[in-house]
Structure 1
């Protein structure tokens, strides 16, 4: 268990490449699983906002965290997040900016993560989508 008493332990073995912006593994113990649906940069009216991937990532992450908060969780409770990006090369090129957005909204406790290239997302204007799950104590 983490020092805060939460049921997630982030594991980053020294024999693997340094975990920058993610955790290699997350061990979870808790009483409640929260599965988070894919979130894009949709505003309250259902319209995609933001011109670039950084702006859209910020809104999509904020939407994911809002759904998590409504279920009683915090960013620290995230065990897994998957990022679906239309342009993985653009995502990689803006990794530092995206990392700053993550730090500001979710802190420095990283879940296990993956970035997957997608041909397109449900909303044609969406450049990025995030889904995941959390374990609440």
Structure 2
């Protein structure tokens, strides 16, 4: 993975504008993960839901033979943006903050269950 800086928009906060995948890398796509545990329970609050969602993404990455160091893109779907500092802080527990993946965040009216606050998709590139 190569991160490319370019003139234009200001330096991003905790993500990269451009990530290039090395030839021959195997791509792993992770469907949107939500904060539901193995028993079907959803924790309350942004911090707890965000941390569980990242753990669920981590488990899905492992199932695909990837890890956080392989993640090149994260997409967040959130029901509100007031808690972005908490989301970023928890994200930094998982991603390489020196080489963060590209990211997008979309505020949505709701997710498939009204008690869910966040959903995260990932794309990873595993070196050949």
TM over 0.5, shorter chain: yes
Corresponding pairs, count: 125
Following TM superposition, by how much is the alpha carbon of 1:60 offset from its aligned partner in structure 2, in angstroms? 0.4
RMSD (Å), alpha carbons: 1.5
Following TM superposition, by how much is the alpha carbon of 1:14 offset from its aligned partner in structure 2, in angstroms? 4.3
Matched, 1:121 2:111: yes
1:91 match:
83
| TM superposition score normalised by structure 2 | 0.88
SS in 2 for 1:57: helix
Following TM superposition, by how much is the alpha carbon of 1:119 offset from its aligned partner in structure 2, in angstroms? 0.9
Question: What aligned pairs does 1:1-137 form with structure 2 within 5 A after superposition?
Answer: 8-29=1-22, 30-49=24-43, 51-88=44-81, 90-92=82-84, 95=85, 97-108=86-97, 109-137=99-127
Gaps of 5+ in 1: 1-7
Following TM superposition, by how much is the alpha carbon of 1:98 offset from its aligned partner in structure 2, in angstroms? 2.4
Q: Is the 8 A contact 1:21 1:110 kept in 2?
A: yes
Measured against aligned partners, the alpha-carbon deviations of 1:10-60 in whole angstroms (never above 9, x if no partner) come to: 2232432012111001111243111101111110012222x2212211110
Structure 1 stretches of 4+ with a deviation exceeding 6 A read none
Gaps of 5+ in 2: none
SS in 2 for 1:130: strand
| TM superposition score normalised by structure 1 | 0.83
SS in 1 for 2:121: strand
Following TM superposition, by how much is the alpha carbon of 1:106 offset from its aligned partner in structure 2, in angstroms? 2.5
Q: Is the 8 A contact 1:36 1:68 kept in 2?
A: yes
